[in-house]
Amino acid sequence: MAKKTNKKNTVSVEGSMFLYDKPEYLSHRIHGNLGWRTPSDQYAFAKTVSSIPLVASEIPTAQKFYPIVFPDIERGGPIAVFSSNEGSNPFIDKDGKWEKDIYIPAYLRRYPIATVQGEADRVAIVFDRASNGIVEDPEFKFFENDKLTDWAQRLVDFSVKYERDQVETNLFMDKIREFELLTTKHVGQKIEGKDQAFANFISIDESRLRSLSDEQILELNSRGYLAIIFGQLFSQENWGRIISKNTPVR
């Protein structure tokens, strides 16, 4: 991402960031009076999001709640599916609150903060200026005496960990593609004697997994990948929940 200075002397981010409508680089000189006040509709920004990226380390937890799929056999990482209907998220109610006791993926929990790795372990902090939680009379300030507050530093640390987990996720995806473990599947049901597909998706192929050599299985296990693989497979049991959330009660 390159950066540029706009007419309002803000340092905005070139390029797109999913769900970040107006990303800017955080600067104490420009944003010293800004901070966060949790809005009553905290997750309203994701109410039309039907799926979200996951990092591999989330899969053992996320698999309890959502089907987890992959966008393409050749590229892309794991995705949690919220809905079989585009543009809807049934886990967010009309007041912008996430359904109680349901896991919230890290990509959404770190919003509106993100980080960009620079040279020599330097980290650029990005935030979404369009978020209605970013205010000038904050509950939690970004800066105190030109330095990040403890609260802000925790947000940054969380985002940095997320980015590192993304690197590990890429390594995981490289390995399962090397072993050709991905295949195309679909989920559906019979309606009036006819098959109706609710979703076509990419998943790990159980039969291909069973055909791996002992050496390959040992490699996956030594890397901690087997738990992730089985979590993705177990997550397919959640399609019924997702479909029922999108089926009107008659």
Coil, helix or strand at residue 39: coil
- What average pLDDT does range 40-59 have in this prediction? 97
pLDDT of 4:
40
CA distance 173 to 77: 7
For residue 192, is pLDDT > 70?
A: no
The total number of structural domains that make up the chain: 1
Mean pLDDT computed over every residue of the chain: 90
215 assigned to some structural domain: yes
pLDDT confidence tier of residue 125, bands split at 50, 70 and 90:
very high
Per-residue confidence band for 85, with pLDDT thresholds at 50, 70 and 90: confident
User: Does the pLDDT at position 12 exceed 70?
Assistant: no
Mean pLDDT score, 94-114: 96
Task: Provide mean pLDDT across the span 96-113.
Answer: 97
For residue range 213-240, list pLDDT tens digits in order: 999 999 999 999 999 999 999 999 999 8
pLDDT at 202 exceeding the cut of 90: yes
Domain of residue 229: give its range: 3-245
> CA nearest 205: which of 66, 56, 58, 70?
70
Mean pLDDT throughout 182-188?
A: 89
Per-residue confidence band for 187, with pLDDT thresholds at 50, 70 and 90: confident
Q: How many CA atoms lie within 13 A of 174 on its CB side?
A: 7
Q: How confident is the model at residue 11 (pLDDT cuts 50, 70, 90)?
A: low
State mean pLDDT over 83-93: 93
- Assigned domain for 250 exists: no
Closest CA to 36 of 135, 109, 110: 135
